[in-house]
């Protein structure tokens, strides 16, 4: 795992990681090419839950849950172009904005979900973690 990620996720409860082959199968099945930093995170920790920095809480979904949860939240209908990967444990989801390249990380409310309400959180997964941690 990237050194910065280790520091930023020091208090985060990590799950055992997935293989590069698991990620490749997911990408083939969904047609989505996951950002490199996020794929690196999944290889080290297949989701997890806990604090990122002193005040931010995060739940990152497991690889095998991503597609199902995006379907259940009807993301394609209510927020086309967003791909949810977790939440703050409250009313907001964390998502990749697939309409941008590279994909921005955004937060969007679960209730009233609309891509227009997405707020940028970083231009990559590490920048997003830095923002949650409070170092950006």
pLDDT tens-digit readout, 77-134 = 999 999 999 999 999 999 999 999 999 999 999 999 999 999 999 999 999 999 999 8
- Which domain CATH number covers 121? 3.40.1580.10
Domain range holding 14? 3-133
pLDDT band per the 50, 70, 90 thresholds, residue 4: confident
**pTM, rounded to two decimals:** 0.94
pLDDT tens-digit readout, 12-34 = 999 999 999 999 999 999 999 99
pLDDT greater at residue 7 or residue 80: 80
Residue 18: alpha-carbon gap to chain centroid? 15
Q: How many domains does the chain have?
A: 1
pLDDT band per the 50, 70, 90 thresholds, residue 7: confident
| Long-range pairs of 56-59 with CB within 8 A, sequence gap ≥ 24 | 56/88, 56/132, 56/133, 56/134, 57/88, 57/89, 57/90, 58/12, 58/86, 58/87, 58/88, 58/89, 58/94, 58/132, 59/86, 59/87, 59/88, 59/89
């Amino acid at each position: 795992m990237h050194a910065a990620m280790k520091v930023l996720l020091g208090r985060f409860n990590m799950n055992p990681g997935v293989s590069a082959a698991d990620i490749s199968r997911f990408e083939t099945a969904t047609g989505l090419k996951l950002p490199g930093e996020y794929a690196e995170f999944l290889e080290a920790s297949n989701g997890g839950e806990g604090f990122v920095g002193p005040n931010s809480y995060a739940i990152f979904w497991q690889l095998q849950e991503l597609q199902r949860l995006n379907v259940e939240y009807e993301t394609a209908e209510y927020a086309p172009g967003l791909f949810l990967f977790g939440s703050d444990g409250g009313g907001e989801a964390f998502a990749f904005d697939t309409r941008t390249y590279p994909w921005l990380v955004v937060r969007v409310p679960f209730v009233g979900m609309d891509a227009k309400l997405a707020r940028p959180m970083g231009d990559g997964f590490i920048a997003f973690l830095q923002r949650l941690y409070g170092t950006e």
